[in-house]
Amino acid sequence: MAGLMGSFNRRLDYVRISVTDRCNYRCRYCMPEEGVDWLEHDRILTYEDLLVLSRVLHEMGVRKIRITGGEPTVRKGLTGFLRRLHEEIPTLHVALTTNGSLLLSMAEELSSIPLAGLNVSLDSMDAEKFRFLTRCGSLDVVLQGILAFRERSRVPLKINTVLMRGFNDAEIPDLLNFAGSCGAVLRLIEFMPLDDSVWSRDRFISADEILESLPDRGKWIPESTARRSPNHGIPEGPARYLVHAETGQRLGIIAAVGHHFCETCNRLRITATGELRSCLFSPEGVSLREALRAKDLETVRGLIVAEAGRKPKCWKDASVSSRHMSQIGG
């Protein structure tokens, strides 16, 4: 399989695809209360478009696709689409990111699809804070959904928490306990300063500070490179992993802002409308939709190669996007 190379000699083998810009939550750091102007239906790539695109990407060297949003589970037919992706492109690793709100009702069906991983965003173990942050979510429903999925599936599970000063930074022990109890890996993520972020910048906590504030600080040991990447040999992205010397629990820290992982960045992003972006922070990308719909796959491939070549050396070189995270795919 040929590899897809981006600028600065980076191999691009991981693509995040947003299947919808819509969401049933309004997380304060992601969206305004009234939501954003939802895209009209005909601007969104159909599942057929997405299947064709996924096959093209895989043939070009992409090994892993993460389905995200908005909230991917609010799009009708998602599990059918995931099943078809697996059946039609069995060598492609397909993972899903969700806010977990619909996991309880989907656990049965979702667990029957051989996903490469499931990531659930969970920013608080306190029901009131959880509702405050999401503006409408129920912590209990999300926890039940995670447990229901875990009972039925051994798929690698990650809990992603955006850490915010004075809000949830005292909750690391509770989050670690919950993740440990359901065999999930907790990942603590730096809050990212997108232009339209609607959550105060003062909440930012750097990865170094997160490290300092870990319970049992001295017992978390950096995971050796030998044990890294248990996920089919595909690099796990920007997370640095630590292992607890006594319990063996694994913990990830994602320094999206403070540290540079750009030089090893292996990802591309596709928005719900079919815009390919080589960097989360790029203000614009290139639309694949027309060529996809015309079944002009030569053009689709050419556009992908060209955008890969435009990948900025570092996110700081990209003039920051003015769109919300839900519209780009997180």
Under rule CB under 6 A, residue 157 binds ligand SAM:
no
Smaller CB separation from ligand SAM, 5 or 257: 257
Rounded to an integer, what distance in angstroms lies between the CA atom of residue 178 and that of residue 58? 35
Smaller CB separation from ligand SF4, 235 or 329: 329
Stretch that binds ligand SF4, among 39-47, 66-74, 78-86, 219-227 (CB under 6 A): 66-74
**Interface size with ligand SF4, residues (CB under 6 A):** 13
Under rule CB under 6 A, residue 160 binds ligand SAM:
yes
Under rule CB under 6 A, residue 330 binds ligand SAM:
yes
Under rule CB under 6 A, residue 72 binds ligand SF4:
no
Smaller CB separation from ligand SAM, 186 or 303: 186
DSSP code per residue over 141-167:
HHHHHHHHHHHH--S-EEEEEEE-TTT
Among 70, 117, 145, 274, binds ligand SF4 (CB under 6 A): 70
Among 14, 25, 149, 241, binds ligand SF4 (CB under 6 A): 25
Stretch that binds ligand SAM, among 95-103, 228-236, 245-253, 281-289 (CB under 6 A): 95-103
Under rule CB under 6 A, residue 69 binds ligand SF4:
yes
Stretch that binds ligand SF4, among 20-28, 140-148, 184-192, 256-264 (CB under 6 A): 20-28
**Binders in 66-85 for ligand SAM, by CB under 6 A:** 68-69, 71
Under rule CB under 6 A, residue 139 binds ligand SAM:
no
Residue ranges that bind ligand SF4, judged by CB under 6 A: 23, 25-27, 30-31, 69-71, 99, 121, 325-326
